[in-house]
Structure 1
Amino acid sequence: MNIKYRSLFYSILFVLGAILTACSNSVGTETDISSEAQSGSSKPEVYKWSLGINTTEGSVRDVTAKKFKEIVEEKTDGRLQIEIHLGESLGTEQEMINMVQVGALELQLAGGLFANIVPEYNTLSLPFIVDDYDEAYAVLDGPVGDRWKELASERGFKVLAHTELGFAQITTNNKPIYHPDDLKGLRMRSPNEAIWIESFRELGSAVSTMPFTEVYMALSQGVVDGQFNPPSAIYETNFHEVQDYLALTNHFYWHVNFIMNDDLWNSLDEELQEIIQEAAYEARDLSRAHIQKKDTEMLEVLKDEFIEITQPDIQAFRDVLEPKIDSIAKTIPAEAVEETYKFLEEYRKAKN
């Protein structure tokens, strides 16, 4: 299906989903939830759900989704069946997020674009806001993350867990990056999210936005000069084939939001909710361990794939970006930014 007709298809699906949600307490449709139980039958209801991700087989989202599917189907004795849809086969990441919101898709592992609907989640994407994984998990799994989950619920989402993606690094195809000045004038690809776009504009880059599935081709054809992603994503999507240099900047931390429709969640019995929630937490823990191990392994592999891997002057990057945080964070509610920085300050004091 070409892009024009696919977009039209999902626009229609979005509207239909909204109508179904407004007209019924059940967000399930014939394709969303199917019951094998007939009226008056003693057989339990069987749910068949779709889980959408925008990456390919073997990616951390795929690993996370498969773990969730395995646990849920085993613990429910097949009462809940999960079908995983890879590589934006159901639509772009933003389209799938919209589909979950209106009940046209049951589950999604949604990345940074989720913040277009729940902007508080972008707080953790601010440049250099966290120094390591422990700080990120303290935010996501603590009172700050709980507050964001509540805000997501108000917008129609049940956030089951915060899974892992990792710290972003920069790749380029024309010159290595040692200093922020090296990025001036480069055409950098970014997801369509204001935080990342504004950050690279402050660094002097010309920013182009495009779906993740189009990045490899854009790099290979010279449409853009570089991109930024965690090491595992760089390797899994073969960006090293069309890029020459890797700069270890750790400038953005990225997590993934395991989401489902909130009305659908509330329609489930307590036993099924408990199984789904526990499975999501187990999948989250697996994703975190997987990324930390995988990124270390991938950096070793990538040493042989890039012409050069650089260790840039991180303080110079901080000196450019940190004074601009208010401008970069203009799409995030100020109270969310303040709350997160205050929490991290107290967390660091307690840790030391």
Structure 2
Amino acid sequence: MFTRKTLAALTITSALAVTPAAFAAKMITVANFFPDTHPNSIALKDTFKKDVESISNGELKVKVFSNGVLGAEEKLYNSVRGGTISMAILGTIMDKEVENVGIIQLPFLFKNYEHAQTVLNSDIGQKLVNDMDTNTGMHFLAYGVQGFRVVASNREISSMEDFKGLRLRFPGITSMLEIGNNLGANITPLPISEVFSALEQGVVDGVENPYPNIVASKWYEIVKYITETNHVFTPNLYLMNNKTWNGLSKEQQKAVSTAAQNAAKQEWSLLIKQEAQNKAKLEQDGVKITVPNQDFHTALIQAEQSAYESFYKSHPEARDIVQEIIALGEK
């Protein structure tokens, strides 16, 4: 026969036995396609991981996979949608599914980093991703930053004529391919993971990307000319699988959301600081940086105007949003 003391002891023992399983931490896997030295990779490890685990009091754990080890952007996009990865940092690869997110990468839309950050952190930024959940199965958390895109090539570009015959790698996004074609270059869409070998083997003559990607990926070791076109601003979107997000408690969701916002802030700060350092490093390594003169800059803008009308045809709400973005830059 069990005494009260025996029953009490058994109850405590049983409770202790189930505690580890009952309170096992949930694992969040987050991946990107950037090298470990990129501001996004640093922010994920230094801020996102630490903040999620700290704010959730250990209920959530984070494992970060950088450098494309889980795949390039398209694979990461499909992996998060399918739920094999909890979360990824992506560009606007989902522009066919999400009505207005492609607006961000319209040419020469943003004046500078301050303008871009102001827009993306405003109601406009949220408006651009309103249908993300329903159309992709992913939950939007924060806007990070890749930067303004420049052209790195094996020859100097100082006028529109110099683009003729140049084989340029562009991302395989419809709006970006049109921007490339408007330059007059021969455009080759390739995953970012294949760019180094394509440059090395002469498959392409150049690549357009923000400065941090050019440095972190070491493309400058092969191509020694950069034209600072700043033709497109590219964000990073912190995105989580919807089922993973909905499986978190309200407190855990707040921890993840707060950590993502904090990581994004660090990423912006790091990238803007690194850009000046990147330019200095490139010049030290023998890269010639050309800043377009006024005539060349004007010609670049004029060449890309058709990209807006093309976008408006398939995105009827975009025209008004673009005007809102331009107005914020004029304040």
Q: Scaled by the length of structure 2, what TM-score is found?
A: 0.88
Matched, 1:258 2:238: yes
Structure 2 residue aligned with 1:240: 220
Shift of 1:247: 0.7
Cα displacement string for residues 36-87 of structure 1 (whole angstroms, at most 9, x for unaligned residues)? x997878434101211111221112211211201111122232211111122
The worse-fitting range, judged by mean Cα deviation, of 301-310 and 252-261 is 301-310
Q: Matches of 2:28 and 2:41 in 1, distance apart?
A: 16
Question: 1:53 and 2:35 equivalent?
Answer: no
Distance 2:103 2:285 in 1: 33
* 302-311 vs 285-294, which moves further: 302-311
* Paired residues of 2:99 and 2:128 also in contact (CA < 8 A): no
User: Are 1:344 and 2:325 matched, yes or no?
Assistant: yes
Q: How do 1:68-147 residues align onto structure 2 when only pairs under 5 Å count?
A: 68-147=48-127
Q: 1:11 matched to which residue of 2?
A: none
- CA distance in 2 between partners of 1:212 and 1:97 (Å): 14
What one-letter code is carried by the residue in structure 1 that aligns with 2:315?
P
Aligned partner of 1:318 among 261, 283, 301: 301
Aligned pairs (5 A) from 1:144-293:
144-155=124-135, 156-173=137-154, 175-293=155-273
Q: 2:325, 2:63 → 1: CA distance?
A: 38
Distance of 1:192 and 1:181 partners within structure 2: 24
Q: Which runs of 5+ in 1 are unaligned?
A: 1-36
Separation of aligned partners in 1, 2:313 and 2:18? 49
Matched residue SS, 2:100: helix
**Distance (whole Å) between structure 1 residues aligned to residue 130 and residue 26 of structure 2:** 26
- Return the letter of the residue paired with 1:96: L
- After superposition, the Cα gap between the structure-2 partners of 1:94 and 1:307, relative to the gap in structure 1 and judged at 3 Å, is closer
- Among candidates 53, 64, 77, match of residue 43 of structure 2: 64
Residue 343 of structure 1: how far off its partner (Å): 0.7
Q: 1:44 to 1:146 in 2, by over 3 A?
A: same
Residue 303 of structure 1: SS of its match in structure 2? Answer: helix
Kept after mapping to 2: 8 A contact 1:190/1:207: yes
Question: How many Å apart are 1:340 and its aligned residue?
Answer: 2.3
TM-score by length of 1: 0.83
Inter-CA distance 347–103: structure 2 relative to 1 (3 Å threshold): same
Q: Does structure 2 conserve the Cα–Cα contact (< 8 Å) formed by 1:160 and 1:259? A: yes
The 8 Å contact of residues 110 and 329 in structure 2, kept in 1 or not, is answered as no
**2:319 is aligned with what amino acid?**
E
User: After superposition, what is the alpha-carbon deviation per residue over 1:103-157, rounded to whole angstroms, capped at 9, x for unaligned?
Assistant: 2210101123232432521111011011111221232111222123321011211
Question: Could you give the per-residue CA deviations for residues 204-232 of structure 1, whole angstroms, max 9, x where no partner exists?
Answer: 11111111111011001110000011111
- Output the CA distance in 1 between the equivalents of 2:143 and 2:134: 18
Deviation of residue 267 (structure 1)?
2.2
Give the alignment's Cα RMSD to 1 decimal: 2.0
Question: Contact 2:109–2:326 at 8 Å: present in 1 too?
Answer: no
- The answer (yes or no) to whether the contact 2:312–2:319 under 8 Å persists in 1 is no
Partner of 2:316: 334
**Structure 2 residue identity aligned to 1:274:** K
Shift of 1:270: 1.1
Instruction: Give the Cα separation in 1 of the matches to 2:238 and 2:48.
Output: 10
Give the secondary structure class of the aligned counterpart of 2:128: helix
Determine the C-alpha separation between the residues in 1 that align with 2:320 and 2:134: 19
Q: Residues 164-215 of structure 1: CA distance to partner in whole angstroms, max 9, x if unpaired?
A: 1110110111x21111221111100011111111111111111111111110
Give the paired residue count. 311
Return the alpha-carbon distance in structure 2 between the equivalents of residues 133 and 332 of structure 1.
28
Identity, % of aligned positions = 25
1:302-337: CA deviation from partner (whole Å, max 9, x where unpaired): 11224421112211101211244213x2685231x2
Unaligned 5+ segments in structure 2 are 1-15
Q: 1:58/1:40 Cα in 2 relative to 1: closer, same or farther (>3 Å)?
A: closer
CA spacing shift, 1:84–1:339, aligned 2, 3 Å:
same
